[in-house]
Structures are given as structure tokens and as C-alpha cells.
Amino acid sequence: MNYFAALVLAGVTTTDWAVLGACLALAAATLIFIFYIQPDASDLAPHRTKLDQLLERRDSIYDNQRDLRFEFRSGKYSEADFEGMKVSLENEAALVLAEIDQVTESQVRRPRGPRPASAVRGPQ
């Protein structure tokens, strides 16, 4: 009696073989994915800086202000609603701009050394 016939008599059906084959195929695909697929260059790119995030937020606020003016002119908002939302967006923009100033100032700030001789002397 051959091996397959012995397994069939032992209770192993073709459905069991299909499940076993599917499990082996899944295991092989997993190993190939883990060890042979290389990450994309974009996966290795550095994350956005705080300044990038702030600049994006500033641009978003400016877009919202532009949209608000358009919607007010088209009659969607009353003047009171428009003024309230406009002041809110202006305050938010001011906070973001102040934060941008803080971030850029801390990046630009360097210790000052002695001034060059040409800068110490005035015009001759």
C-alpha cells in the first residue's frame, strides 16, 4: 500500500491536504515578504520638522480665511458670523506666526564671537 492510501485510511482527507498546502503557501509568502522585499525610499525619508508642520498649518489658515471671505460675499454668512469667524482665524494665524518666529529664531540664533576688524572701524 502506498503512503497516500495509508494517509487516506488514517483519516487524512483531500480537504486536509488543501488546508496544509494553503498554510505552507502562506508561510512561504510571509518569509519572502520579510526577507526579500526591500523598503521604499519614501519609507526611509525623515519625518516633517516642526517648522514644516507650522508652515502647513499657516497655509491652511490662509486658505480658510480666503474661503470664508468668498462664502461671506456669496451670502452664506451674516456679517456678525463672518466677523466672529474672521477674528478667530486671525487669532489662530497670529499664534501660528508667533510660533514660526520662535522656531526660526531658535534655529538662527548662534553665539556671537568678536566682530571682524573691518566692522569695528567705522567709515573712513
Which residue stretches of 1-124 are H helix?
Answer: 3-9, 14-36, 50-73, 79-108, 117-120
The C-alpha cell at 7 is 494517509
Chain centroid offset of residue 1 CA: 63
- Taking only the tens place, the pLDDT of each residue in 62-117 is 999 999 999 999 999 999 999 999 999 999 999 999 999 999 988 776 555 565 55
On the CB side of 81, CA atoms within 13 Å amount to 9
pTM: 0.52
Rg (CA), the chain: 34
